[in-house]
Every structure is written in C-alpha cells, then in structure tokens.
Amino acid sequence: MTAVGADFRPPATSRCRKESHVSNVAKSVWVSEKEPFGQYLVDDEGKSLYMLETDTQATGSTEAVSVCSGECVEEWPLLTTTGEPEAGDGVDASMLGTIARDDGTMQVTYSGWPLYYCHDDQTSGGTGGQDVHDDWGGWYLLAPSGEPIEGEG
C-alpha cells in the first residue's frame, strides 16, 4: 500500500459523505464477492467493511488501535456490536474480535483490523470506500484472509 516515490500522497479527498446514514450495529460478518476485488467482508446486510491503513493491527502482544475519531467516525462509521460478533459463511470466526473504544463502544475487528463502513455505501454491494485516501489514510476492503485488498474498482 505504498506508492512509488517517498513523498507521494494522494489528494485528501473522500467519497464518503457525512450526509448519508448508515446503521452500524451488526450481528455478523459475512463474505461477498465482486469483480475486480474478489471476495471481501460485509456485514449481515451485505454492506462493505473497510480497514484503515493507519490503524494499528492487533498482532501477538500488540492490541488493535483505531485512530479514527471525531469527524473521521462521521465519514467512516464504526462497525460496532453489543455482543460477540458472529462469523457468517466464509468468515474465520477465530479472526473476529472487538476493541473497546474510549466511549465504551465495542468496535468489531477482523484479523486485528478495526472495521468501518463508508457512508456512501447505502445498499449491499457498494464499494465506494475502496482505495480512498483522505486525511486519515488509505481505506481498503478486507479479504477473508484478513489481508487488505488493493486497487480501485
């Protein structure tokens, strides 16, 4: 996810707008498939889930940390849960988890990455947040393997 050239940074633009409404409490995480991305994670309504490259991925003794707060959360709502997240078809249940945010909200993680929505993805199958680069970093769909999916759609 690095560009050629040490100081290259795409313009700080976002296709995810605050005016839209996304319900962000999900019971389960599923797998969907769409070209050119292949398989990627969605919620129980088929809405795409994203990771932020500037977050800290949980690995071994390192805990996941979300750097998205304030205006970022308005544009990129968190995938939250009120219980344990459930794995739908194609999802590795052992890779699902949660992190407690400062306000007590439980954000769902996958492969150690905190998960988010893009406000513009109003219906199932929307992938408007893929490969967006804004003030918070790069946003990517996640494959069932837990790896970010690179490239625009």
Q: Do 128 and 13 form a contact (C-beta atoms < 8 A)? A: no
Per-residue pLDDT reduced to its tens digit, 24-37 = 676 799 999 999 99
Q: Taking the model in full, what pTM does it have?
A: 0.85
Per-residue pLDDT reduced to its tens digit, 43-81 = 999 999 999 999 999 998 999 999 999 999 999 999 999
pLDDT score, position 52: 99
Identify the CA nearest to 99 among candidates 134, 75, 68, 133: 68
Polymer length of the chain: 153
8 has pLDDT over 60: no
pLDDT score, position 12: 46
Per-residue pLDDT reduced to its tens digit, 117-141 = 998 898 899 999 999 999 999 999 9
Longest CA–CA separation in the chain, Å: 44
